[in-house]
Amino acid sequence: MTEYFMEERQLEQFRQMLEEEERSRRTVEKYLRDVRAFLRQLGEDGRISKACVIRYKERLLEKYKAMSVNSMLAALNHFFQGAGLV
């Protein structure tokens, strides 16, 4: 993954994609919450790279159990796939 800049419109596109996949309202909310949490730690420039994803995962593992971290990362992976980043 090279650097990628995140914008609010990508989140809206992600929400629409999840709804088209007929994900439940709670799943859509959770996935958006998880992606927004990741974006908050990026800072204002919204620059996404493999290195920042790895750092994010390491921070999550300091706070949460592996099962919760995997769930949060699943949301990110789904977002990255939908955006064509993986």
Amino acid letter, residue 4: Y
CATH superfamily of 4-82: Tyrosine recombinase, N-terminal domain (1.10.150.130)
- pTM summary value: 0.83
- The reported pLDDT for the residue numbered 44 is 66
Quote the pLDDT of residue 1. Answer: 47
Q: Please tell me the predicted confidence (pLDDT) of residue 42.
A: 78
Residues near 5 by beta carbon (within 8 Å), at least 6 away in sequence? 45, 46, 47, 48
For each successive 10 residues of the chain (86 residues), what is the average pLDDT? 64 95 97 92 76 93 96 95 80
Task: Map out the domains of the chain as residue ranges.
Answer: 4-82
11-33 burial code (b ≥16 CB/10 A, e <16) = beebbebbeeeebeeeebebbbe
